[in-house]
């Protein structure tokens, strides 16, 4: 359909996971692809698959962001769509958190995303408008133990999207968020090695299936294209309806392990948190 024909799309984290899925779909729809990431050689190699451009960009580095913006503008003269998939997760409870755990996570998830908006939205404002997309998470909506830094940052991002929508709206720059459920990528690969953890998530999702990176990429395509030109400051959950439920807890994992021991390795009771003193039924 060439919904992105003539548009320049910058994808941070485009060498894998959600970003790579977006690059494939955007390119198929006619976009000029720019892959940005901390590993410049990998970004360039991936971009070459789409006859695009690779740039070095650690989103926590303000000066790198400035240089990345300048390189893209020097080559293409415009930026029409930009999406940030840079992410970092370190599961820690509040009881355990230290600056070594919290600060890198907030720096990537929150500060880096604001720098991303600063450079991409400014460039879009100077070249006639566009669409900036942030990646949030279902954990920003459904609380989960151990993700205070990750989920807290993501929840903040969703409000930042509203603020940016207000600031840049008169420049015809839209800013929106996507909040995916747990979907298999490099960052979540360890979860998908635990069959009963995946099955617990699937059972608590109304769609009764796990999501795929293409589900996120298709949502991003809608937000990046002109089809969404009156959608601004919004968060779209790509979760199969899971926001209507609670996220699985250690108790849910243990209960499923007891009900379907073939899915669980070892003793599922060992996953029950210390603060839970109730009895677990084997029914």
Along the 283 residues of the chain, how does pLDDT read in single tens digits?
799 999 999 999 999 999 999 999 999 999 999 999 999 999 999 999 999 999 999 999 999 999 999 999 999 999 999 999 998 878 888 998 999 989 999 999 999 999 999 999 999 999 999 999 999 999 899 887 788 899 999 999 999 999 999 999 999 999 999 999 887 777 776 777 767 677 777 878 788 887 799 999 999 999 999 999 999 999 999 988 888 887 766 666 666 555 556 555 554 444 444 433 343 333 3
Domain count, the chain: 1
Name the nearest CA neighbour of 220 among 68, 72, 17, 6.
17
Does residue 269 fall inside a structural domain?
A: no
State the pLDDT at residue 255: 62
Main-chain phi, psi angles of 51, to 5 degrees: 55, 40
- Name the residue among 177, 69, 159, 165 with its Cα closest to residue 116: 69
The pLDDT of residue 125 is: 98
Q: Where are the alpha helices (DSSP H) in the chain?
A: 17-28, 40-48, 62-76, 99-106, 112-126, 148-168, 195-203, 213-224, 250-259
> Which residues face 222 on adjacent strands?
none
Residues β-bridged to residue 120: none
Helix, strand, or coil here: 110? helix
Instruction: Determine contact, residues 66/72, Cβ cutoff 8 Å.
Output: no
Residue 251: per-residue pLDDT:
62
- CB of 79 closer than 8 Å to CB of 72: yes
150 labelled catalytic? yes
In a domain, 12, yes or no: yes
Contacts of 66 (CB under 8 A, 6+ apart): 119
User: What sign for the dihedral angle of Cα 223, 2, 76, 36?
Assistant: positive
Residue 202, in any domain of the structure = no
CATH code for position 164: 3.40.50.720
pTM of the complete model: 0.86
Task: Classify residue 283: in a domain, yes or no.
Answer: no
Is 226 part of a structural domain of the chain?
yes
**CA atoms of 80 and 69, how far apart (whole Å):** 12
pLDDT, residue 5, reads 96
Q: Which two tokens stand for residue 152?
A: 């807290």
Inside any domain, residue 281: no
- Give the pLDDT confidence score for residue 261 in this predicted structure: 60
Residue for token digits 């990176």?
Answer: 213
Q: Nearest 5°: CA angle at 74, between 70 and 78?
A: 90
Q: Is residue 135 part of a domain?
A: yes
Domain of residue 20, residue span: 8-189+210-243
User: Cβ contacts of residue 223 below 8 Å, gap of 6+?
Assistant: 131, 133, 174, 176, 178, 231, 236
For the chain, the residue count is 283
Q: Measured between alpha carbons, how far is residue 24 from residues 17, 32, 35, 130 in Å?
A: 11, 11, 11, 20
pLDDT at residue 49, rounded to an integer: 97
d(CA 154, CA 248): 19
Q: Are 125 and 171 in contact (CB under 8 A)?
A: yes
Catalytic residue (choose from 150, 168, 230, 253)? 150
């Amino acid at each position: 359909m060439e919904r992105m024909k003539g548009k320049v799309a910058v994808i941070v984290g485009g060498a894998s996971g959600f970003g790579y899925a977006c690059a494939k779909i955007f390119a198929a729809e006619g976009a000029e692809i720019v892959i940005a990431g901390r590993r410049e050689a990998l970004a360039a190699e991936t971009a070459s698959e789409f006859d695009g451009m690779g740039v070095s960009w650690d989103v926590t580095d303000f000066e790198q962001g400035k240089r990345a913006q300048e390189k893209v503008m020097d080559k293409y003269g415009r930026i029409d769509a930009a999406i940030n998939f840079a992410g970092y997760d370190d599961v820690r409870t509040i009881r355990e958190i230290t600056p070594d755990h919290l600060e890198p996570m907030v720096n990537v998830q929150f500060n880096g995303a604001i720098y991303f908006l600063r450079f991409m939205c400014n460039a879009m404002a100077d070249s006639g408008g566009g669409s900036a997309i942030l990646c949030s998470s279902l954990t920003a909506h459904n609380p989960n133990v151990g993700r205070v830094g990750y989920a807290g940052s993501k929840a903040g991002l969703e409000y930042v999207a509203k603020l940016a929508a207000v600031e840049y709206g008169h420049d015809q720059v839209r800013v929106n968020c996507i909040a995916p459920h747990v979907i298999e990528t490099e960052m979540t690969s360890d979860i998908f090695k635990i069959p009963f953890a995946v099955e617990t998530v699937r059972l608590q999702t109304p769609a009764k299936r796990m999501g795929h990176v293409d589900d996120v990429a298709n949502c991003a395509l809608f937000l990046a294209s002109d089809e969404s030109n009156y959608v601004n400051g919004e968060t779209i959950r790509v979760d199969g309806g899971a926001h209507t439920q609670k996220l699985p807890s250690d108790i849910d994992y243990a209960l499923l392990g007891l009900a379907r021991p073939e899915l669980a390795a070892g003793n599922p009771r060992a996953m029950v948190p210390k603060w839970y003193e109730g009895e677990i039924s084997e029914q």
